[in-house]
Amino acid sequence: MCGIGRDAADAAAKTLLGLNIEALVSWGTAGALSPDLRSGDLLLPENFLAGDGRFLVTDKAWLERIRQALQPASLTIHNGHMTEAREILTGMASKRELHLRTGALATDMETAAILENATAGKVPCIAIRTVVDEAHLTIPVALVKHLDRYGRAGPAGWILEVFRAPRLIGELYRLGTAMHKAMTTLQMLANRTNHTLMYKS
């Protein structure tokens, strides 16, 4: 677990490369940009658009082995490209703008930095992400400000925000349901792929 954001991902990738690892995986969740994606959908992007406009390429043979290991699984899998966000996108407008500008299906804040390090270190890399928030789902800023560096909620802060604005209870429920779907997909993938997640040259 590297934590949220480019800087945390960059530091973690550099640490792992310093240990002479053979491959890197960007594992976690993502926010949907395309209205066609649903919470719990699996993203196995073959390309990733960094914030500076560069397209970064994942290891296609490794991804194909994972796809084969998942058959037949009741998962909706997307292979289209993703893009980088420098901050958590909390509203529909910011998601729509990024989708129209990049054509990306979804976004996260860490994969670009991990892929950049993998390219520089000449090691293979893939991204395995599951959708939490759909394109139409907003994430309350009042709740985001209480997340720690690993994306974990600060219960005391959230309770205070709900006390101030009880309407947040419904948004918390929707977000919690979406996160459960995403985590269920990651668990299913880990169980089904097993040793396939290990890189083989």
Strand partners, 55: 49
pLDDT in tens, 51-107: 999 999 999 999 999 988 888 778 899 999 999 999 989 899 999 999 999 999 999
Cα–Cα distance, 174 to 47 (Å, whole number)? 30
Q: Which structural domain range is residue 75 located in?
A: 6-197
**Looking at the domain assignment, is residue 93 inside a domain?**
yes
Asked if residue 1 is part of any domain, the answer here is no
Q: CA quadruple 107, 110, 114, 117: dihedral positive or negative? A: positive
**pLDDT value at residue 199:** 60
Report helix, strand or coil for 135.
coil
Counting every residue, how long is the chain? 201
The pLDDT of residue 184: 95
Neighbours of 43 (CB within 10 A): 25
pTM of the model: 0.88
Q: Is residue 145 part of a domain?
A: yes
For residue 181, give the CATH number of its domain: 3.40.50.1580
The answer to whether position 153 is within a domain reads: yes
Classify residue 123: in a domain, yes or no. Answer: yes
- Into how many domains does the chain fold? 1
Contact 82, 108 (CB under 8 A): yes
